[in-house]
Structure 1
Amino acid sequence: MKWPTLGLALLAFTGCATVNTIERIEQPDSVIRYIENTADPLRFSNLYPGKKTYPETCTENCYPSSPLLACETPAENCRFTGQQTPPAVSTGFNIRWLGHASFYIESPDGSSLLFDPVSDQFDWPVNWAFRLAEGFNRKPGDWPSTTEVADTDAVLYSHIHYDHFNKDDIARIGSDSKYFVPLGFAEHFPEDGYHINEMAWYSSKSLGELKIHFVPAHHFSNRVWVPFLYEDNNTALWGGWVLEHQGKRLFFAGDTGYSQHFSDIRQKYGDMDVCLLPIASYFHEEDSEWYRYVHTTPEDALTAAKDLNCKVMIPWGYGNSSWKMGDHSSHSALLRLLNMHKKMTSDIPLHILNEGEGVTL
């Protein structure tokens, strides 16, 4: 049957979009904290706000060169070349680092998941603003194959900041995957039939044999054209994720500063087998205290790994496809991590990845 011209025009105008399915997940032991004395809308709060003290702080000779890195210029455009044997951790998780905060995870039960997938730049117009302010655009990270993206079972976002959530990638991944996000996040999705699980801290949901827990982080959220405009500050929650399969646990921290929440997570779920922890975006000449408040330094990440009793730590945030926000160069944070790992005599094994590399632990 031929559609009348008007019918075709209306179909083209409205498209085939369908309404999203949103499930809000709160359980008896879930935790939600709001900033006190705020008018509508309610705004979320960190569990441990206020001035921080840090167990370790590097103050001098923090970035010595390392024979384990081959760099085009000092700490810039590098590749980790050290020989490493994966620690004897038997979880069955296959972990591939895509760059910055993005990971492709294959779980022991065959599920495939994406953490904070961002394939290219910030969404417009922030990508242009960032280029004008910082003078460069991010080099694209590694991205899963078309087949892997199509077969992705779940996508997990830690928070709505542009370097962790790119709306263009939602369309690339599509509505066949299930989406796991913090509270207040779903309104940032287009209406196109997405299945979205909005979760409070310490809420859980199963995906096949895999248990997915949403856990606290020490950070903040906003997503406006003019950064730090007050309208949407902290109206969406932020956090990290724990994947659990038959008693084995993988932890993804999301963006976070150091606080007691790491110890809380271990107390609630037990020791973490694999920890994916951020080590960059912690330094800025005029705002160093604020940057560290919401981002872990390499030594903070090592302290967090100890709090979590990680069997192995995989760092992220540095790299040739990073945005270097608040940091010195593409690999300065990794140099500092390698340095502080020795100075702190940390017994947490490190496994270092270059973008696109993976490991089964």
Structure 2
Amino acid sequence: MQRSTTMSSRAFGIGLGWLKTTRGSMPIYCMGAIASVTAYYLISDQWIDSRRRLFIQKRKTQQQQQQDVASVQSDSRFSSLMIGGRFVNPFETWRDKTLWDFLRWVATRKTGNGLPRDKAKLIQDLPLALPHYELLNAFSHPTKVRQTPTSSSSSQESLAENSESPLCYAEYPAVESLDRLATMTATWLGQSTCFVQMEGLNILTDPIFKRRTVYSWLGPERLRPVPCQLEDLPVPDVVLVSHNHFDHLDIDVVRKLGDSVTWYVPLGLGSWFARQGVSNVREMDWWQENELTVRDRTFSIVATPTQHWSGRNGLDSNCTLWSSFLVKGKESSVFHCGDTGYCPAFEEIGRRYGPVDLAILPIGSYEPRWYMCHQHVNPDDAVLIHRDLGARRSIGVHWGTFMMSDEHYMAPPRDLAAASEKRGLAADEFIAPQFGKTYLYGPAMTGSSASE
């Protein structure tokens, strides 16, 4: 780090000296300042990447020298890694993107994503359903129940635009006949936001209910409105946050829920929550386990590795960790992935904690592959993760919500179907769910979901 700091300071000093000689010209002054800052970050990034590669090689060498079972269980190749005050990906499958990579993508990217001008076509392709409120409330503790919404604008729009919504659950068994401790529900609300119930525990993942990703006026806009509002759902017990990107962490949700829920977040993110006045937060490193007891039932929540990055502005890149989460109960388990590129960590997660009953895996934002492959899986990669985890069932998320890449808006479900067939998966083993629809899974995930 000393060498990097020295080189960066020298670059900054050269830029500053040049500025002193040209201080009469504001345009040149600004160019000099930009050049100095750019040089600093380029040198710093190169130093961090070189150190990252050295650490990876060192970990590989150490692992090759370890033979006993205990050392394999604590395989350092899959531990989080921080260099120069920033977290880095400790996998050979990762490559940092440069400014030139970004400019090349912007200059060559496709536009439109095949989105139709006719709104009716979009409604047909991406229909909304209302969650099965009766079921969700029945599976919740009485203190967590919400009243079934009757005046929600999003709910009214859902019913008006999707006449099949009232019939979505016609084939479901009667709610009172279901064993709430042996049955799981999963409701996808867009992007990576899911409401999951397992063994009486209400789980919310990567919450975002905004119309746009950043502010009401800034960021990509939803293709379809959110199927319901946060206030329509039973109150969560826990919220799992995989990383702090705007499309995975909605500050309005944080302020609404506050300390009424337990937030599970990666290392470094607790201070951001503290600034929002929230203290009921559990910061977790990769492989760290935390026990949670809710209404006399104990759950194990494990933070597990992914290959991604973090940041909410240009100055905090990778200052906080990113992770996936595994929630294990007595009867079942749920894996929430968040964003990731494909890497060997998932095979290790499966080896330690598999098989997983239900996996929530991303299948969108993957084109062009040369630019996205290190940070976002495509459907074929997602199927590989499904198999690595030994997942009995998976649902594909992170598509059809905010368009932030180049693939056609309906490519993810089509590509998932093709990848599943190629890999020999059953038709309902890995699905691209409908917005808002509550999916019901049987005991131990051995049979078909009642909703298929």
Q: TM-score range by the shorter chain?
A: 0.7 to 0.9
Displacement of 1:344 after TM fit? Answer: 3.1
Displacement of 1:79 after TM fit? Answer: 3.9
Matching residue of 2:309: 220
Aligned with 1:290 (options 367, 371, 394): 371
Matching residue of 2:407: 328
Q: CA RMSD in A?
A: 3.0
Aligned with 1:203 (options 272, 288, 305): 288
Displacement of 1:153 after TM fit? Answer: 1.1
Displacement of 1:176 after TM fit? Answer: 1.1
Displacement of 1:298 after TM fit? Answer: 0.4
> d(CA) in 2 for partners of 1:101 and 1:196?
20
Aligned with 1:153 (options 227, 237, 252): 237
Letter of the structure 2 residue corresponding to residue 256 of structure 1: T
Q: Relative to structure 1, is the Cα distance of residues 317 and 175 closer, same or farther in structure 2, using a 3 angstrom cutoff?
A: same
Q: How does 1:23-38 map to 2 (within 5 A)?
A: 32-36=79-83, 38=84
Aligned with 2:187 (options 78, 82, 96): 96
SS at match of 2:387: helix
Letter of the structure 1 residue corresponding to residue 381 of structure 2: D
SS at match of 1:184: coil
SS at match of 1:130: coil
Q: Write out per-residue CA displacement over residues 203-224 of structure 1, whole angstroms, 9 at most, x where no aligned residue.
A: 1112222211111111111111
Q: Relative to structure 1, is the Cα distance of residues 74 and 124 closer, same or farther in structure 2, using a 3 angstrom cutoff?
A: closer
Matching residue of 2:419: 340
Matching residue of 2:205: 115
Aligned pair 1:314/2:395, yes or no? yes
Q: Which has the higher contact order (CA 8 A, sep 6+)?
A: 1
Displacement of 1:145 after TM fit? Answer: 5.3
SS at match of 1:44: strand
- Any conservation in 1 of the 2:245–2:312 contact (CA below 8 Å)? yes
Aligned residues: 291
Structure 1 stretch displaced more, 98-107 or 323-332: 323-332
Matching residue of 2:14: none
What is the TM-score normalised by the length of structure 2?
0.58
Q: Which runs of 5+ in 1 are unaligned?
A: 1-27, 53-70
- Any conservation in 1 of the 2:268–2:283 contact (CA below 8 Å)? yes
Displacement of 1:358 after TM fit? Answer: 1.2
Q: How does 1:50-129 map to 2 (within 5 A)?
A: 50=93, 72-73=120-121, 77-79=125-127, 92-108=183-199, 110-122=200-212, 124=214, 128-129=217-218
What is the TM-score normalised by the length of structure 1?
0.72
Q: Which runs of 5+ in 2 are unaligned?
A: 1-72, 96-118, 129-163, 173-180, 442-452
Letter of the structure 2 residue corresponding to residue 78 of structure 1: L
> d(CA) in 1 for partners of 2:405 and 2:373?
10
Q: Relative to structure 1, is the Cα distance of residues 105 and 51 closer, same or farther in structure 2, using a 3 angstrom cutoff?
A: closer
Letter of the structure 2 residue corresponding to residue 313 of structure 1: S
Q: Relative to structure 1, is the Cα distance of residues 194 and 352 closer, same or farther in structure 2, using a 3 angstrom cutoff?
A: same
> d(CA) in 2 for partners of 1:119 and 1:258?
27
Letter of the structure 2 residue corresponding to residue 153 of structure 1: D
Matching residue of 1:3: none
Aligned with 1:252 (options 326, 336, 344): 336
- Any conservation in 2 of the 1:112–1:154 contact (CA below 8 Å)? yes
Aligned pair 1:47/2:90, yes or no? yes
Q: Write out per-residue CA displacement over residues 63-96 of structure 1, whole angstroms, 9 at most, x where no aligned residue.
A: xxxxxxxx95489843499x9999xxx9532211
Q: Relative to structure 1, is the Cα distance of residues 306 and 74 closer, same or farther in structure 2, using a 3 angstrom cutoff?
A: same
Matching residue of 1:263: 347
- Higher percent of residues as helix: 2
Percent identity of paired positions between Structure 1 and Structure 2: 24
- Any conservation in 2 of the 1:280–1:327 contact (CA below 8 Å)? no
> d(CA) in 2 for partners of 1:222 and 1:205?
25
- Higher percent of residues as strand: 1
Matching residue of 2:250: 166
> d(CA) in 2 for partners of 1:73 and 1:297?
25
